[in-house]
Amino acid sequence: MNVRVLELIDGSSGSRIELEGNRLPVTHTKDVIHVLDSGSLSPAVRDHRESNRAAERPRHAGQPGTAEPVSRQAWPGSGTALVGWPSAGYRVGMAERASAGAADAVIIGAGPNGLVAANVLADAGWQVVVCEQQPEPGGGVRSGRGPAAGFIYDHCSAFYPLTAASGVLQSLELERYGLRWSQAEHVLAHPLPDGRAAVLSRDVEQTASALEALGAGDGAAWRRLYALWQQTGPQLLDALFVPFPPVRSGVRLAAKLRGPGMLRFARFALLPVRRLIQEEFTGPGALLLAGCAMHADLMPESTASSIFGWLLTMLGHQYGWPVAEGGSGQITLALLRRLTGQGGTVRCGDAVRQVVVRRGRAVAVRTASGEQITARRAVLAAVAAPRLYGELVSWDHLPSRLREDMRRFEWDHATFKVDWALREPVPWRSPAVAGAGTVHIAGGLDEMTEYSAQIATGRVPEHPVVLTGQMTTADPSRSPAGTESLWGYTHVPQRVRGDAGGELTGGWNEKEREVFADRIEAQIGRFAPGWQELIIGRRITAPGQFEASDASMVGGALNGGTSAVHQQLMFRPTPGLGRPETPIAGLYLASSSAHPGGGVHGACGANAARAALSAARARLQRVAAAGVRSAIGR
Ligand SMILES: Cc1cc2nc3c(=O)[nH]c(=O)nc-3n(C[C@H](O)[C@H](O)[C@H](O)COP(=O)(O)OP(=O)(O)OC[C@H]3O[C@@H](n4cnc5c(N)ncnc54)[C@H](O)[C@@H]3O)c2cc1C
């Protein structure tokens, strides 16, 4: 296989990098990204690139009601199709270059965790190579053109409160590498069936007053939740983002709360969000909390769903829910610029097939093209845990107990997403929703429970709970003035056994994808009648298509494994492995399958990188690996 290098050189040298049609100055003259020559891509990938371009045909080119077919994202079946930047991507000069051969660290996967890990190691002076299976880097942080001309969509992640709150991402100063943030007027809205809406603003008082208008006493309840955040937020974030157990930040948190306060906080954290709402609120404004809890794969009745809802809403007050100006791929681009400026290398289009283990230590990786890259100090696997254990590392090298535990590993739900290009913004019945970046769509708490129960029992939901993003509202550069770039995603079962709506099998062929996308549209239509007439293009991403574009998103899972409490903290991804170290010396789990889990915070990557650095300093890899072995059992 022909590995080639894309050299990204600044404007004065004649080359440049282009993303989403914008010419972006490259700050470092030695930025190097390896990709396979497009001539070496599989026919399916090439076809998909073409179909991505074809997908930018208009739906309703004329006035409302003009019946042209919906512009579709045609996927060449399962397998090697890719999503991301194919229609924009890098356009740069090409030059042959010898293979990487060896590096201090090899990082598998150029998603946000892999790229953060690479940056942390490169900052420490390590020579790093990142190996990425897809033709473009970014994993869950990619954007592209579509689904109509002049529109930009985010392939997966879009809103970044966790990024804003993450200490490691703050320390990388990505703004110095071209990243700019943008915020909607309001953080979040939840339209209600009676035409009103619950709205989360950056401003606490504004939010509390709005909630008071929806339920007597709810303004005071919201202020109490915010007071708790003020008391505990910084310590909690510190504790969340470091490897488990968070000794120093845990002690600081305990000191803040003291004895009985700690017990009450622990109870609060473990509450199902339905119970929290029953205890504290009288009106429907508390749906803001329940909707945020449903960003994880939790039911409103799940243990600890309250803390997810509380954390995301409070981050909304403290940081907002920012988006990357110009598309989420700009975050990846900034990470790449920073990394390559430090001498790091990213090779795209060549999957790692094996981590080579010798005498209990990870010493190299072998790629699909047959190349072996020696890892002098460490291998960091920023891929889902089931992709690492038993696939990249043979079970022969791993304790049998780990194999037994991984048999119990639970994926989070599958994801089904639609991106729309709208001729005008969504005509919400409640005008308050218009200024919100994120909009949660669900008819009420009971509907959320029914939706969750249908997924839990293997049925495609009849009334999907939809998380939607009004991206042009949040970032005017996403589509032409006066239009809206909108997306919505919902969850479906990993294994479909039926359809609560009575039509689907879960085979997700083209017809099923269209039917379910129509169901999602109808659900939004309950709160914005007639909005479908504004659609000029739509692009559907079904569960298998997420996995085809990112092998870590197995079955369309977006969090690297369930967020349920039995697979969090010291249970993530299996009991005893709440840290990035693995039973193999010099091998670290750096993806969202590691604590603290899903979301673009980079903590999983940073924790793995720091573990590798400190082990290399202390030459303690074998001791650490032995410790992990004894923690999980033989
Ligand atoms: C639809 C959707 C919406 C989301 N919305 C948000 C949001 O708004 N905010 C937020 O914070 N988070 C969001 N997330 C979650 C977020 O995207 C993920 O938690 C995050 O991307 C995980 O980062 P990661 O680096 O661990 O893995 P990934 O981003 O999945 O990256 C893994 C990388 O490894 C590569 N890879 C896999 N196997 C191999 C191999 N063998 N060899 C080489 N490379 C390999 C993959 O191609 C991929 O590039 C969303 C996710 C989805 C799917």
pLDDT digits (tens, 9 = 90+) for 475-510: 999 999 999 999 999 999 999 999 999 999 999 999
Q: Does the CB atom of residue 129 touch ligand 1 within 6 A?
A: no
Q: How confident is the model at residue 370 (pLDDT cuts 50, 70, 90)?
A: very high
Closest CA to 147 of 155, 136, 159: 155
How many residues would you count in the chain? 634
Ligand 1 neighbour 295 (Cβ under 6 A): no
Cβ of 543 closer than 6 Å to ligand 1, yes or no, is no
Residue 11 counted as domain residue: no
User: Which structure tokens are listed for 186?
Assistant: 């309001």
The response to whether residue 592 sits with its C-beta less than 6 Å from ligand 1 reads: yes
What CATH number does the domain containing 395 carry?
A: 3.50.50.60
Q: Do 259 and 287 fall within a single domain?
A: yes
CA distances from 529 to 7, 294, 426, 437, 534 (A): 50, 24, 9, 19, 11
pLDDT at 622: 66
- Same structural domain, 305 and 423: yes
Interval 233-259: pLDDT, tens:
988 999 889 888 888 888 888 888 887
What local confidence, expressed as pLDDT, does residue 165 receive?
Answer: 97
Of residues 154, 191, 181, 161, the one with CA closest to residue 487:
154
What's the pLDDT tens digit per position in 283-329?
999 999 999 999 988 999 999 999 999 999 999 999 999 999 999 99
Residue 595 lies in a domain: yes
Measured in degrees and rounded to the nearest 5, phi and psi for residue 213 equal -65, -20
Greater pLDDT, 90 or 339: 339
Could you tell me the distance, in angstroms and rounded to a whole number, from the CA of residue 114 to the centre of ligand 1?
10
Q: 378 near 104, Cβ under 8 Å?
A: yes
Residue 37 clears pLDDT 60, i.e. is over it: no
Same-domain pairing of 291 and 209: yes
How many folded domains does the chain comprise? 2
Q: What is the pLDDT of residue 255?
A: 85
Side by side, the strands of the sheet bearing 197-200 are 197-200, 186-191, 436-441, 466-470, 484-492, 414-422, 535-541
110 alpha carbon – ligand 1 mean position (Å) = 9
272 and 395, same domain (yes or no): no
What pLDDT does residue 471 have? 98
Mean pLDDT of the chain, nearest integer: 85
H/E run at residue 276: helix 273-280
Cα distance between residue 390 and residue 545, in whole Å: 23
Whether 496 is covered by a domain: the verdict is: yes
Is the CB of 350 inside a 6 Å radius of any atom of ligand 1? no
Judgement on whether residues 405 and 469 belong to the same structural domain of the protein: no
Same domain, 470 and 397: no
Q: Is residue 152 part of a domain?
A: no
- C-beta 349 within 6 A of ligand 1: no
Whether residue 544 is found in the same domain as residue 502: yes
Find out whether the beta carbon of 573 lies less than 6 Å from any atom of ligand 1: no
600-629 pLDDT, tens digit per residue, is 999 999 999 999 999 988 766 666 777 777
Judge whether 244 lies within some domain: yes
Burial class (CB in 10 A: 0-12, 13-18, 19+), 167: middle
Element (H, E) at 6: strand 3-8
Tokens of 47: 């076809």
Mean pLDDT of 22-34: 32
453 and 313 inside one domain? yes
Q: Which domain holds residue 405?
A: 99-133+349-409+560-634
Give the residue carrying structure tokens 């991206």.
471
What residue owns the CA closest to ligand 1's atom 46? 550
Candidate from 552, 554, 562, 572 with most ligand 1 atoms within 8 A of CB, to mutate: 552
Confidence of residue 85 (pLDDT cuts 50, 70, 90): very low
Where does 264-412 show beta strands of DSSP type E?
A: 323-324, 345-348, 352-358, 361-367, 372-381
Give per-residue pLDDT as tens, 255-266: 888 877 888 999
Residue 596 Cβ inside 6 Å of ligand 1? The answer reads no
**Do 187 and 297 share a domain, yes or no?**
yes
DSSP 108-166: E--SHHHHHHHHHHHHTT--EEEEESSSSS-TTS-EEE-SSTT-EEESS----HHHHH-
Q: Indicate whether 475 and 565 sit together in one domain.
A: no
Please tell me what DSSP assigns to residue 583.
S
Residue 277 pLDDT class (50, 70, 90 cuts) = very high
10 belongs to a structural domain:
no
The answer on 618 and 544 residing in a single domain is no
Per the domain annotation, does 91 fall within a domain?
A: no
56 Cβ inside 6 Å of ligand 1: no
The finding on whether 413 has its CB within 6 A of some atom of ligand 1 is no
What number does the ligand 1 atom closest to the CA of 116 have? 25
Choose which residue among 589, 592, 593, 601 to substitute to test ligand 1 binding: the one with the highest number of ligand atoms within 8 A of its C-beta.
592
User: Does 532 lie in the same domain as 598?
Assistant: no
| pLDDT of 633 | 73
Q: Would you say the CB of residue 131 lies under 6 angstroms from ligand 1? A: yes
How many other C-beta atoms can be found within 10 angstroms of the C-beta atom of residue 259? 8
Q: What is the pLDDT of residue 176?
A: 97
Q: Is the CB of 111 under 6 A from ligand 1?
A: yes
Q: What is the pLDDT of residues 326-350, one digit of tens each?
A: 999 999 999 999 999 999 999 999 9
Of ligand 1's listed atoms, the one at least distance from the Cα of 139 is 49
Atom of ligand 1 nearest to the CA of 593: 26
Confirm if 235 and 253 have CB atoms less than 8 A apart. yes
Share of the chain above pLDDT 70, in %: 83
Q: Which comes out higher in pLDDT, residue 294 or 33?
A: 294
Predicted pLDDT of residue 243? 85
Residue 159 CB–ligand 1 contact under 6 Å: yes
- Indicate whether residue 569 lines ligand 1 (CB < 6 A): no
- In tens, the pLDDT along 392-421 reads 999 999 999 999 999 999 999 999 999 999
Domain CATH code at residue 295: 3.90.660
Q: 112 in a domain, yes or no?
A: yes
- How far, in Å, is the centroid of ligand 1 from the Cα of 217? 40
- 140-172 pLDDT, tens digit per residue, is 999 999 999 999 999 999 999 999 999 999 999
pTM of the model: 0.87
Ligand 1 neighbourhood includes 450 CB (under 6 angstroms):
no
| Tokens found for residue 176 | 């110095």
